[in-house]
Amino acid sequence: MPYEAKNFDHLLGTPGFSDQLLKNHFTLYQGYVTNTNKLADILDQMLKEGKTGTPEYAELKRRFGWEFNGMRLHEYYFGNMIKGGKELDKGSAFYKKLTDDFGSYENWEKDFKSTGTMRGIGWVVLYLDPIANRLFNTWINEHDLGHLAGSIPLLIMDVFEHAYMIDYGLKKADYIEAFFKAIDWSVVVNRFNNAPKVTL
């Protein structure tokens, strides 16, 4: 069954994000969905034709992770945003876990934002390691590199230039401030609450 692009038009009008920037970003995301489906179909056909030992198959197989993660990370990213933002419930188990693991919410926020302002393109992901029950802020350089195996993404921030340059130029820190005002913390808390418990 092919993947279908989700509609995130409800984010249009989000303070700090021009409609032009968001529409461009939605189009880019839709391209990842299209390419994920194309690659899945081509790889399936090559398997049926016995072409799995070819260099073409190998390169397309490697490319699949880029397209799939580009699709899914954008869905997490747009999914944890809402026009006007939603505050974090300080009575939630997630808030307690965040403060336990980082010492304070402020420490976590400083680390997350600092990760986002590092030089380079990529993503910042707040991950839950369900085996150790531990939270990490992680830098992902490319869609398919840097993920923590088995960990669950809770909060995703896109820091590729397309996420902010139309509105902010090189002022990535200003974009990050706008992003924080648009976080839907109820979604993040729900991801945390629904995370499976895992043992090895």
- 158 assigned binding-site residue: yes
- 74 assigned binding-site residue: yes
Q: How far apart are CA 57 and CA 46, in angstroms?
A: 7
- 143 assigned binding-site residue: no
- 10 assigned binding-site residue: no
| Helices marked H in 49-104 | 55-79, 93-102
Q: How far apart are CA 109 and CA 47, in angstroms?
A: 46
Backbone angles phi, psi at 199, to 5 degrees: -130, 155
Q: Position 43: which residue type?
A: L
Residues near 186 by Cβ (< 8 Å), separated by ≥ 6? 86, 89
What kind and span of H or E run contains 193?
A: helix 185-193
Q: How far apart are CA 119 and CA 37, in angstroms?
A: 32
What 8-state DSSP symbol labels residue 125? Answer: E
Bridge partners for 183 per DSSP: 81
Taking each continuous run of H as one helix and of E as one strand, the counts in the chain are 7, 3
Which residue positions form the known binding site? 25, 74, 158, 162
Which residue positions form the known binding site for Mn(2+)? 25, 74, 158, 162
